[in-house]
Amino acid sequence: MHVKGMIFVGEPFNDLGQIQKQDNNKRILFSIVAMLLISTVAIVILFLLKDKYDGGLDTSSDASSAAVSGESDPDVTSQPPEESLESDPNVSDTSSDAPNESTEESSQPSDESSDTSGQLEMEHGWVINNLGYTYLYYDRGLEQFTASTAVRDSYIRTINKLKSSVGSANFYHMLIPTQVEFTDIPTNIKQEDNFYSSSQKSFIDTVAAALESGSTNVNVYDRLQAAYEADEYIYFRTDINWTALAAYYAYTDFASSAGFEPAALDVFPIKSYENFLGRFYTATGAQILKDNADSILYYDVDSVNACIVTMYSNNATYNNRRLTYSEVSDTSNGYNVFLGGVASRFKITTEQTNGKKILVIGDTSAMPFVPFLTSDYQEVQLINPQYYKGDISAFVQENGFDDVLVMSYTTSASKLYYHEYFENLYNG
């Protein structure tokens, strides 16, 4: 019985060992196959990543989405400039980091962007750099425009709140379309590059229709469209801003809305600053942009309208300023020929004797625009909501402004962080 018992136990035990051995062989084979699959996938991913970054352009939908979103990390072409810290006009407004007050930064392209510039052989596409994403279309950069319904409605609430805060002053609102609105990019290129831009006209018209009663919307869209189609130089190739000529056209549209005759453009001597390389170039270091540097044509309003210009910046006051400057510290800071740079507030007292006063609240679009107003108002003040902090209601009442004009690029209006800047106007 004992032997039979051993045999009975032993036979199943041997069969089980064979099964375990077979299972082990299967596990080893499966592990080998899995490792081969994982290795293959890893090699493919590495190859794709190498192609993505070495090429200098990212046409993936992820890149496009990151550049489009107004609520994600700000991209290089849509962040506003830092406020000037110096009385010298040679200030920097080329930073694309999160806004803060700091000293002038280097205007030269970063190492990362310099690395991509030598590889930009394609004629269009997204350029990845250490600051974000920038879209190049042949000889110029373009700032993508998108705005959700929620963002648009937020902007409308922002402007209407401001309207209700300025009392009995005449309230004007101006939205400025950017270059991408009028640039005819073929559909196949948009699809290839994952570059999509919403209708700025639709955004502008919807906002205009929703303005609080008593507001006057200033239409600059039609005039700028006509000028662009006539191949007039109203936008820079290497920078996000418009030119002084475009600003003059907007000034004439504002004059029509406000009921006064604008000064003729030819009364102002024209000057130029050459080889301007703006934020699109600073972000990318693209050779195609360097080869197509801009000329800044500006109008010497100072020689016609003698003014007392005071700049308020970082709790300091700077006197004896000018409306325009012939020199700036670096080619990337060329836009600072207008008013000498960005600041919290400018106060301009003119030789006009009509007693009229205007307050302009705006982004960098206001810098080449404001000098023209010195032909029509005895006092002109400019506030940048990004830096100014104070009680706007009290400020308007104390200064007795007749008119208040709010002006912004559509690309600023499409960013929630820009709306938040206006809350500074209620923190007095």
- Reported as a single tens digit per residue, the pLDDT across 224-262 is 999 999 999 999 999 999 999 999 999 999 999 999 999
- Identify the band that residue 100 occupies on the pLDDT scale cut at 50, 70 and 90: very low
Taking the model in full, what pTM does it have?
Answer: 0.74
- Contacts of residue 68, defined as CB under 8 A and 6 or more positions apart, other chains included, come to 144, 146, 196
Rounded-to-integer distance, Cα 10 and Cα 144, Å? 78
Give rounded-to-5 percent helix, strand, coil for the chain: 40, 20, 40
Q: Are 156 and 207 in contact (CB under 8 A)?
A: yes
Q: Are 418 and 73 in contact (CB under 8 A)?
A: no
The percentage of residues in the chain with a pLDDT greater than 90, rounded to a whole number, is: 67
Give the pLDDT confidence score for residue 20 in this predicted structure. Answer: 52
Beta partners for residue 349, in sequence order? 308, 379
Rounded-to-integer distance, Cα 428 and Cα 424, Å? 8
The larger pLDDT score, comparing residue 8 to residue 252, is at 252
Strands 379-383 vs 132-137: parallel, antiparallel or unpaired? unpaired
**SS3 category, 310:** strand
Rg of the chain taking only CA atoms, in angstroms: 29
Q: What is the mean pLDDT of the chain?
A: 81
- Identify the band that residue 411 occupies on the pLDDT scale cut at 50, 70 and 90: very high
**SS3 category, 203:** helix
- Identify the band that residue 161 occupies on the pLDDT scale cut at 50, 70 and 90: very high
Q: Are 245 and 297 in contact (CB under 8 A)?
A: yes
The percentage of residues in the chain with a pLDDT greater than 70, rounded to a whole number, is: 73
Give the pLDDT confidence score for residue 36 in this predicted structure. Answer: 76
pLDDT at 175 over 90: yes
**Per mean pLDDT, which of 38-42, 58-62, 194-198 is the most reliable?**
194-198
Give the pLDDT confidence score for residue 260 in this predicted structure. Answer: 98
- Reported as a single tens digit per residue, the pLDDT across 287-342 is 999 999 999 999 999 999 999 999 999 899 999 999 999 988 888 999 999 999 99
Single-letter code of the amino acid located at 149: T
Rounded-to-integer distance, Cα 252 and Cα 268, Å? 15
Give the pLDDT confidence score for residue 32 in this predicted structure. Answer: 75
- Contacts of residue 16, defined as CB under 8 A and 6 or more positions apart, other chains included, come to none
Give the pLDDT confidence score for residue 28 in this predicted structure. Answer: 67
Closest alpha carbon to 162 in 399, 342, 367, 383:
383
Average pLDDT of the segment spanning 83-104: 35
- Reported as a single tens digit per residue, the pLDDT across 50-90 is 443 333 333 333 333 333 333 333 343 433 334 443 333 33
- Identify the band that residue 37 occupies on the pLDDT scale cut at 50, 70 and 90: confident
Burial string for 140-174 (b: 16+ CB within 10 Å, else e) reads bbbbbbbbeeebbebbbebbbbbbebbeebbbbbb
- Reported as a single tens digit per residue, the pLDDT across 354-385 is 999 999 999 999 999 999 999 999 999 999 99
- Identify the band that residue 132 occupies on the pLDDT scale cut at 50, 70 and 90: confident
Beta partners for residue 235, in sequence order? 242
DSSP H or E stretch at residue 229: helix 221-229
Give the pLDDT confidence score for residue 58 in this predicted structure. Answer: 31
Closest alpha carbon to 144 in 238, 243, 288, 240:
240
Q: Picking from 41-45, 94-98, 207-211, 267-271, which range would have the lowest pLDDT averaged per residue?
A: 94-98
Tally the C-alpha atoms within 13 A of residue 369's C-alpha that lie toward its C-beta: 31
